[in-house]
Amino acid sequence: MCAEQCAILWDMRVHVYLDDELVHEIDDRVGDRGRSSYIEEAVRARLDRERRWELIESSFGTISDTGHDWDSDPAAWVHEQRHGDPRRVG
C-alpha cells in the first residue's frame, strides 16, 4: 500500500564508463574518494544549464518586435535606464 502512495527517495547507484584520462583528471582535482560527488555536481550543473536553455528557447517569440520604449534609440534607452534613478549606485 505505501509503495503506491508514499514517495520514498533513495540515492541510486549507477555504473558509468569514463575514459581513463578523464578519471585521472577528476582524481587529480578531488581524489578518488571525491569522484561521485564531483560527477554528481557536474551532472546537476549540466542538467540545470539544459533546463535554462529550454526555458530561454520556449520564450522565443513572446516579446513583440515593435512597440517598445527602446525602438527609436536603444542606446539612449539603456543610458536612461542606467542613469535615470538617482538611488542607483554605479
Residue type, 66: T
Identify whether 44 is part of a domain.
yes
Supply the pLDDT for residue 40. Answer: 96
CA–CA separation, 76 vs 88, rounded Å? 17
Supply the pLDDT for residue 57. Answer: 96
3-state secondary structure the chain: CHHHHCCCCCCCCCCCCCCHHHHHHHHHHHCHHHHHHHHHHHHHHHHHHHHHHHHHHHCCCCCCCCCCCCCCCHHHHHHHHHHCCCCCCC
Q: Number of structural domains, the chain?
A: 1
pLDDT values of the chain reduced to their tens digit, one per residue, 90 residues: 566 667 777 888 999 999 999 999 999 999 989 999 999 999 999 999 999 999 999 999 998 888 999 999 999 999 988 888 888 776
Identify whether 3 is part of a domain.
no
Which pTM value belongs to this model?
A: 0.63
* Domain residue limits at 43: 31-58
27 CB burial (10 A radius; 0-12, 13-18, 19+):
middle
